[in-house]
Amino acid sequence: MRHQRSAQAAAARTGRRACVFVARYDTFVARCDTFVDEHDTFVDEHDTFVDEHDTFGARRDTAAAGSDARGAPRGADSAGRSREAMSAFSLSRGELHAERVPLATIAERFGTPCYVYSRAAIEARYDAFDGAFADLPHLVCYAVKANSNLAILDLLARRGAGFDIVSAGELARVVAAGGDPAKTVFSGVGKADSEMETALVAGIRCFNVESAAELDLLNAVAGRVGKRAPISIRVNPDVDPRTHPYIATGLKESKFGVAYNDAPALYRRAAGLAHVDVQGIDCHIGSQITDLAVYVEAARKMFALVDAIESEGAALRHIDLGGGLGIRYDDETTIDPAAYARAVRGLHGERSHELLFEPGRFLVGEAGLLLTRVLYLKPGDTRDFAIVDAAMNDLLRPALYAAWHPVEPVRPRAGDARRWQIVGPVCESADFLAHDRGLVIAAGDLLAVRAAGAYGFAMSSNYNSRPRPCEVVVDGDRVHLARPRERIADLFANESMLR
C-alpha cells in the first residue's frame, strides 16, 4: 500500500511538472508569436519608412530640379531619364517593383508576357508637360497611336487632356474612355469619307488636312451631312528632326503634310469652300526627337507662315506644333518640357493663338515595361541566346527600327555576367528584343524590358498565331487588369471555312 501511495505521489508530481512544462511551453510559444508579430510590425514600419523616404526623395528631387519663373515643373533630369519613371520602376528589397507592387507578383498573378504601366508615371509626365505651358492658352492632345488602351485614355481624359487620332477606331476608343470629341484633332494622310462622316457627327475639334484632295473630299462629306468641317492644314516645314528615317515626317520627301510654300494657296482655296471652317494650322515633324533646336526651327517657320497667311485676311485661332518629344531608351539627353515652353513662349510673343501639342511617347513611353520570362538558355560557339516568352509580335520596335530597350532582371543575381542575345520564339531571325546584353540570368528568371509603354502593345500582332499579352496598370499597391491575355480560341473566333 505504501508503495502504491508513493507511486501515486510520484505520478502526481510528474503530472504537476508536466503541467508546469506545458504552461512554460505555452508561454514560450506566446512569446514567439509576440516576437513574430513585433517582427512583422517592424517590417511593415520599415517598408513604410522606405516608401516615405522614396516619396521624400522624389519631392526633394522635384524641388531641386527647379522651375521657370512661373514655377512650371521640370519633367526630366540632366541625364535625360525622367525621375517619375525611375521611381515608378525601382529595386526594393532585392527585386524590381512597379510602384509598390513586386513585378514577380504581377507575373505570378497574370502570367507572362505582360505589359505593365504605372499610373503615377503617366500622370506625372502629363502634369509636367501641361504645367510647362500653364501661362499660355493651350491644349495637350495625347497621340492615341502611342498606346490606345482604354485605361490610359481614361487617366488622361480625367487629367483634362485632348486627343490626337489617326482613325475612326481611335476616335471610338476616345469616346469609350470618356474623352471629349470637342478636344480631339484628326490627323493622318488617308482619312476615308466614312471616317470623316463619323468624326463630323461626333463633333471633333479639328481635322488636320494633309492634301488638296483631302480638303475637297472633306468639303463634300460635310455638305452631305449638313455640317461645316473645322480644319487646320498640316504643313510640312522641311525640317530634319534628326531621328530614325521611319519616324521622320517633316522633310520634303515625306508623305505627310502640305509643302511649306504651297500652304498659303491652299488656305485661300479653303476660305472659298462652303462647308469648311478654317480654324488653325498644324505641323508634326517626327518622333523621338531629342534636340530642342529642331523644334525651335520648326516653330519659327510655322509662326512666320501664320503671319504670312493672316496678312492675306485669314484669321487662325490655333497653332498646332505637333508632338514627337523623345524619351531615354539608352543614353539620350531628352528635352525638358520647361525649356521647350520657354522657347515656344519667346516665339509666340504677344499672339493670342491657342497652342496645341500632340505628345504620345513622351507621356507613356517610360511609364511602361514588358515583363517576360526566360524559357531556355542556349549557349553557342559565337553567341549565347536567352530565349524568352515574349517575341517580336509582342514588341516590334527592335525588329522594325533596330530600337534599343533597357533589359533588367526582376531579381538581380550575383555572379559573372555573360553577353546574351534576348530572343523570342517567333520563327524569324529578326525576332529579338535585345542584342549583346551583359546579364547574370538563369532559365525561369523574369526580365523587364523597359521603356515599352509607347508603340509596344499598340504595334503588337498575332504573328505565328500567338495570343497578344495582357496589360495591367499599377496604382500604388493595386493592380488593374486593363486588358486580359488573348486566348488561342480568340485568334480564329471570327474566321470561317469554305462551305
pLDDT tens, N- to C-terminus, the chain (499 residues): 444 444 444 444 444 444 444 444 454 444 444 443 444 444 344 444 434 434 333 333 333 333 333 233 333 333 334 555 557 999 999 999 999 999 999 999 999 999 999 999 999 999 999 999 999 999 999 999 999 999 999 999 999 999 999 999 999 999 999 999 999 999 999 999 999 999 999 999 999 999 999 999 999 999 999 999 999 999 988 776 555 555 555 556 677 778 888 999 999 999 999 999 999 999 987 778 888 888 888 889 999 999 999 999 889 999 999 988 899 999 888 999 999 999 999 999 889 999 999 999 999 999 999 999 999 999 999 999 999 999 999 999 999 999 999 999 999 999 999 999 999 999 999 999 999 999 999 999 999 999 999 999 999 999 999 999 999 999 999 999 999 999 999 999 999 999 9
Q: Please state, in angstroms and rounded to a whole number, the distance separating the CA atoms of residues 266 and 281.
A: 12
What DSSP state is assigned to residue 455? S
Distance, CA of 72 to CA of 136 (rounded, Å): 12
343 located within any domain? yes
Closest CA to 329 of 98, 65, 62, 82: 82
Total number of domains constituting the chain: 2
* Rounded CA separation 394/463 (Å): 9
Among residues 343, 358, 373, the one where a domain terminates is: 358
Residue 332 and residue 201 share a domain: yes
Given 358, 374, 403, the domain boundary residue is 358
CATH of residue 309: 3.20.20.10
The answer for residues whose C-beta is within 8 angstroms of residue 220's C-beta and 6 or more apart is 193, 275
256 within domain boundaries: yes
Q: Is residue 242 part of a domain?
A: yes
- Cβ neighbour number for residue 341 with a 10 Å cutoff: 24
Torsion on CA atoms 172, 178, 181, 183, rounded to nearest 10:
-130
Asked if residues 209 and 231 have their Cβ atoms less than 8 Å apart, the reply is yes
Q: How many helices (H) and strands (E) in the chain?
A: 14, 21
Order of strands, edge to edge, in the sheet holding 95-98? 89-92, 95-98, 101-102
What count of other Cβ atoms lies within 10 Å of the Cβ of residue 225? 13
pTM over 0.85: no
Question: Within a domain: residue 35?
Answer: yes
Give domain status of residue 148, yes or no.
no
DSSP line for 274-341: TTEEEEEEE---BSSB--HHHHHHHHHHHHHHHHHHHTTT----EEE----B---SSS--PPPHHHHH
Confirm whether 419 is domain-assigned. Answer: no
Query: Which regions of 144-226 does DSSP assign to beta strands (E)?
Result: 162-165, 184-186, 206-209
Q: 207: domain range?
A: 187-358
> Which element (helix H / strand E) includes 430?
none
Does residue 311 sit within a domain? yes
| One domain for residues 196 and 342 | yes
141 in catalytic set: no
Residue 128 phi, psi (nearest 5): -65, -45
Does any domain span residue 325? Answer: yes
Q: Which residue among 328, 358, 388 closes a domain?
A: 358
Catalytic residue among 32, 114, 283, 427: 427
